Amino acid sequence: MFSGIKKILQNHLLIILGWFFIALGAIGVVLPILPTTPFLIVALALFAKSSPRFHQMLRNNVWFGPSLKQWEDKKTLSRRTKYKASFLIIITFAISIAIFDDAIQLQLLLVGIAIVLLFFIWRIKEQG
């Protein structure tokens, strides 16, 4: 009896966590310091264990679905996806750096974070 209740609670917790990571990913679209894709990959994994419906919903998403399918199926990204991600990182971080034009330490921190993100994106295997 308790194992059934435990399973239901675990499923609900995984679904809640999945939606939490989708929310973080959505915030990451507009805030350059939060990366979108890793949060969506975590949400995809959580939904794979808890909700086939939400899992498919995320895989079929117009904007993120193709990249998430590719990641889930092959653990790779296309070169085009890498270029898009790199472009967005550079643009959003450049805007943030320009906004904080009088805070050199914050600018250096943002440059460092951007470099780390770009480094990790380009280390991921490419589709091929």
Does residue 55 share a domain with residue 116? no
For the record, the structure tokens of 124 come out as 């991921």
Average pLDDT, the chain: 88
The total of structural domains in the chain comes to 2
Q: What residue numbers bound the domain in which 107 lies? A: 76-128
Whether the model clears a pTM of 0.75, i.e. scores above it, the answer is no
Does residue 54 share a domain with residue 33? yes
Percent of the chain's residues with pLDDT above 70: 97
Q: Within the chain, which residues score under 70 in pLDDT?
A: 1, 32-33, 128
Residue 24: closest CA among 6, 9, 43: 43
76 backbone φψ class: left, alpha, beta (φ>0; ψ -120 to 50):
beta
Last residue of a domain, one of 75, 103, 119: 75
Contacts 24+ apart (CB under 8 A), 51-56: 51/11, 51/14, 51/15, 51/18, 54/15, 54/18
Does residue 82 share a domain with residue 69? no
- Are the C-beta atoms of residues 117 and 35 closer than 8 Å to each other? yes
pLDDT at 32 (0 to 100): 67
Does residue 27 share a domain with residue 64? yes
pLDDT at 17 (0 to 100): 95
* Helical residues (DSSP H) of the chain, grouped into ranges: 2-30, 36-50, 52-59, 65-74, 79-99, 104-123
